[in-house]
Structures are given as structure tokens and as C-alpha cells.
Amino acid sequence: MTSLPQDFIARIQKDTFVPSGLLQALEESAPTSVRLHPQRKSNFNTTNRVAWSTQGIYLHQRPSFTYDPLFHAGAYYPQEAGSMYLEKALAQLELPEHPIVLDLSAAPGGKSTLISSFLNHKGVLIANEINRSRAYILSENLTKWGYANVFVCNHKPSELSALQGQVDVLVVDAPCSGEGMFRKDSTSRDEWSDDNVRLCAGRQKRIVMDVWDALVHGGIMVYSTCTFNSSENEENVLWFIKELGAELVPI
């Protein structure tokens, strides 16, 4: 695999926030984890559980999911354990009994299947994906998961103005520079640059600006990326506070 970008290494070595073992971890294979459907049976050993997920487990080895009928039956969803933290965040929020949730960049469906399980047939999940071909995959995965209170759509954030003031929870897993993909995708290493980080940070601001008004007064936005730099994370959050009047919610 391509070596980690030198500018990235230099930045991480100066960053006192990230764990000291991050660079080494990025050169190792990611652990395999799945999130089980809460109402269906599977054949996995469930002793090695993900601490922050009620249905997440680690597997000792990665099976061929596409050859497993239980995968196609929606008995589980392969998902990195870190992404499962969304459940822990949602569980700590004060939400209406029947919330309206918008998953803005939902494909291929990891977050949306998690949210639909969390809602447990209450409220509505609007799962949006801007890319049409990925929206079909999203729809297929949510159909397998089997909750009826889910609506899949294919729109740009700026096209969702009809939702103004109606969304209780806005989940924005923003397109990013992909530093979290370095350990499993050599292409992400080749495409990374400081210029791309700045480009992504600006795009993320525009995405949130386009959809911010969809929130009800006092609604919640869960903002996340799969990258480590402060430009796309902490600095953007501070910008949302300054420019949009957002407030931090402790979890």
C-alpha cells in the first residue's frame, strides 16, 4: 500500500489531541465488526461486543458477507465500530416521542439502518443520498433492514427546502478528505493533500448552510466526518456556532 502522506504524518505528530498510536494503527488492518438486527437471529458469537453499541460485535475474521444468506436477509449490517457511536449519541439526546430524522448523506446505509433500529418504528427517518446510483444501494439496504417508517430520497441539500422547520434531528456525515480511510484504501492516501482538506472544509460549511433551516427550533444536528484534522471538525463546529447560532450539546 502507498505510504502515508508526509504532510499528514507531520501534522499528526504535532497534534496533541489524537492518540499517539494513530499512525501505527493506520498501517494495520481494521478490525471487522457488524451490527446485528435487534429483531432477527444470526449465527455470530456475540461475546466480543462493541462497548458503545447495543447490537455491535467484533468478529475474529472477516467472512464473505455477499455469500451469506443472513446478510441478504438483513440479519446484520457490516459497519466499523466507530460509526456505531451514533447510537450512543442519539440515546443521550432529549428527543420527541416520534422524531423526524434526516440522514443527509445516507448511502450505503450504515447510519440509516442504525437510526431506524434506534427509532424502533416511531417517528420518521428521511434517508437522503445525492448520488443516484448510491441512492439505489441505500434503498436496497434499508429494504433489507425492514422498517416501514423510512423514506429514501435523492436530492442535493439545497433541494430540501420543503423540510424547513420540520426536522428534529439532522445527521450530517459530511463528505471529507477521508483520512479515516487510510488503513484500507490506498487511493485515499494518493488523493490526500492539504489543499483538499481546505476544499472539503469549505464544502462542509456550504452543505450545512444549505440544510440548516430544515431543523425545528431547538433541533439537533449530529455532525461527523471520517477524518482527523481540526479544519473539517472542531474549526467547522466553531464556525457553525458563530455563523448559525448553534450551541454545543454535551454527550
226 is a catalytic site residue: yes
Contact (CB, 8 A) for 95 and 220: yes
**The amino acid at 237:** V
Instruction: Provide the CA 26 distance to its chain's centre, in angstroms.
Output: 19
Distances (CA, A) of 144 to 45, 67, 120, 137, 141: 22, 15, 15, 11, 5
Report residue 227: phi and psi, to 5°: -145, 165
* Active-site hit among 153, 176, 200, 226: 226
Active centre residues (catalytic): 226
